[in-house]
Structure 1
Amino acid sequence: MDRQAEASALRTVAAHVDALDGDRWQIAALGSETLVDAVGPDNSRVTILTFTAHAKPEEIELVAGALDHARIMLGVITRAKKVLRAADGEGGQPLPRPSDTAQQATRAKKNHAAEAAMLCERAAFRNWLIERHGLDLKGTADDAARTARAAQKLRSLLGVTSRKAINEDDAVRDRWIALRQDYYATAGRGQG
């Protein structure tokens, strides 16, 4: 469902909920059947749905709670819109952003060196290194030799003698992340 269809459906739900303002739905029993009654603001009661004995309790509770659930969802959406408006500077303080140190800590925890090693094993990454950075695989007969050559090229591009420097040096890590992003942007994910 696209956003316009979602917005239209949401407006319809909101209109229905508004029309039922003051009403509540309750579960009642009549013999082996389970009923859902609409109870009006004046305590008038009308049966709006009858379940057979074969209905699961979860089905009954879900349907009987639909009006309350819709009210909750609409309230959540209204509050979320307020928060987003505040974040955009429309009448409130912007949402707090993660600190640079928190972002750096997250980036440092990831084992980028292992990720680099795994990418060097992928044919798609090696082909990208050939096309974008002149990796030469001539004379390499097997996959292990191609992987080793790709790792050597990667170390050269990053200006390091060992891939573990990616995890230990912020500048090297930043160069790795930029190179990896360029790979994914130009070669695409899921290849190789």
Structure 2
Amino acid sequence: MTADTLQRRQREAAAVNRLRGSAERLCRDDWTLEATRDGLRLIVQRRDGELAHIATIHGNALHDERDLLCGALDHIRMFLQLFDRAAVAVRDLRDELAVQSQAPARKMPNHSAQASILLSHAAFHRFLSETGGGAVDDKDSADAALKGRLGITSKKQINEDDRVRAAWLSLFGEYEAWLRGGGEA
């Protein structure tokens, strides 16, 4: 890998991390539109209940421009979900290729790493809260909720114990169904 490629990848990773941080800080904010005589007002309701007018979209803005601006937070959330799913898929494919070429590698996908990644996502926090009956609002409480749901003390057990792996795969399937069903909205 050339130095230029490495620098570009580092800049891209930093940009993704900035987006992830913004999305996580705004995870409980709701954006809504309010029609006015002159156009639309973008209003945010913050987690403390405060309402704030954060932008005005004038009447001469094109439909696509309004959609892009007003949907930015949802677009970032969706991008990050797709990004993380792609990362997991790439990792799993690399593992499969390593097994096929008989290189020393894990025979199973690294489900504990997948679980660790999801613990940082606000959407996974909401899923655990809504389906588990307890408040989950940060990585630590998500970790505790996940371990409680799976009956484990360490996420390593997901890769090491067939019962735990089956429970994780079932929970992950429920999460994906929840996302498809609009749970992220």
State the TM-score bracket (shorter-chain normalisation).
0.3 to 0.5
> Which of 1 and 2 has greater Rg?
1
TM-score (norm 1): 0.44
TM-score (norm 2): 0.46
